[in-house]
A and B are shown apart, each in its own frame.
Chain A
Amino acid sequence: MSWWHRLASPTRFMSYSAWVLPIAGWLAAGCIGVGLALGLFASPADYQQGETVRIMYVHVPAAWMALFCYSAMAASSAGYLIWKQPLAELATRATAPVGACFTAIALVSGSLWGQPMWGTWWVWDARLTSALVLFFLYLGYMALAEAFDDPTRGGKAASILALVGFVNVPIVKFSVDWWNTLHQPASVVKLDGPAIDPAMLVPLLLMAAGFTFYAVAVVILRLRAMVLERKIQALQRQLAEAR
């Protein structure tokens, strides 16, 4: 058995996730706590954007997580379809709501940032638009995974959809970029140039690390619940047959 087979066995997962969970949880709380403290108190306001730049400390990490979670879902879908690991399918399912929540946060905080900076709540800017499409992809995945009476079939169909969506994300990004330059030539402030002040970069990276640990912790929570639910279903079937 290779290492991932061992990692993916539900019994083993239940034992190692029990001690990974508190570590991830405390790391998330620590990183987000320190990152917030640095971001809200210690970091300077931007000379152009003033205090609104602090929205960046939730917006940018949330947008990163939105993409990261979808990539993780594509990877675990591939793992499920190729190596038939049932835990990989559950992992895709457990990650989807987390990614959808981060995408929603990125959209709402982006809109709250856009209002003072651009003067409107929403612009059909390339990034916002691709994030919106990504949000729809998350919704589609979750709807399809829950639509079947048989959870195995829902899992397989939704895994295929996650891979199709993953192929589509760069195409959407490219076409939306192209469309955007066509309609409003470069009026949007570039937010993440390489020339970012270290006083801003440190809290930004801390928040990103905190969000990642948070995602790991919540995915483990949901995965543990799903493994137990499958076990409960098996037990109930056993009880019904014994009766």
Chain B
Amino acid sequence: MTDGFFAMGGYAAYVWPAFGVTAVVLAALLLTSRRRLKASEALLRDLESARPRRREVNP
């Protein structure tokens, strides 16, 4: 049964790469977009915590 399912009626070499490429592309896009958001969130947090300290030093 699973053998037949994964064989895709002899077309496994076409069906699975199609799904695989879709999964890889969509996952990569999602992860890079997420990483970009996390990076900018972290940088913004650093900057905002840096700002008040500067004001204390130089009023």
A–B touch (CB < 8 A): the answer is yes
Q: How far is the CA of A214 from the CA of B26 in the complex (A)?
A: 9
How many chain A residues touch B (CB < 8 A): the figure is 39
Most buried by A among B5, B9, B14: B14
User: What is the interface of chain B mostly: helix, strand, loop, or mixed?
Assistant: helix
Chain A residues 59-111 with CB under 8 Å of chain B are 59, 62, 97-98, 101, 104-105, 108-109
Chain B residues 9-59 with CB under 8 Å of chain A are 9-11, 14-15, 17-19, 21-22, 25-26, 29-30, 33-34, 36-37, 39-41, 43-44, 47-48, 50-51, 54, 58
**Known contacts A116-B14, A218-B30, A242-B54; is A232 also within 8 Å of B37 by CB?**
no
**Known contacts A58-B18, A232-B44; is A239 also within 8 Å of B51 by CB?**
yes
With both beta carbons as reference points, the residue of chain A lying nearest to B40 in the complex is identified as: A228
Q: How far is the CA of A40 from the CA of B5 in the complex (A)?
A: 9
Q: Are A55 and B33 in contact (CB under 8 A)?
A: no
With both beta carbons as reference points, the residue of chain A lying nearest to B30 in the complex is identified as: A218
The size bracket of the interface on B is 20 to 34
With both beta carbons as reference points, the residue of chain A lying nearest to B48 in the complex is identified as: A235
A-B contact pairs, 25 of them (CB 8 A): A45-B9, A50-B10, A51-B8, A51-B11, A51-B15, A52-B11, A97-B29, A101-B29, A104-B25, A105-B22, A109-B22, A112-B14, A113-B18, A115-B14, A116-B14, A218-B29, A218-B30, A221-B33, A222-B37, A225-B36, A225-B37, A225-B39, A228-B44, A242-B54, A242-B58
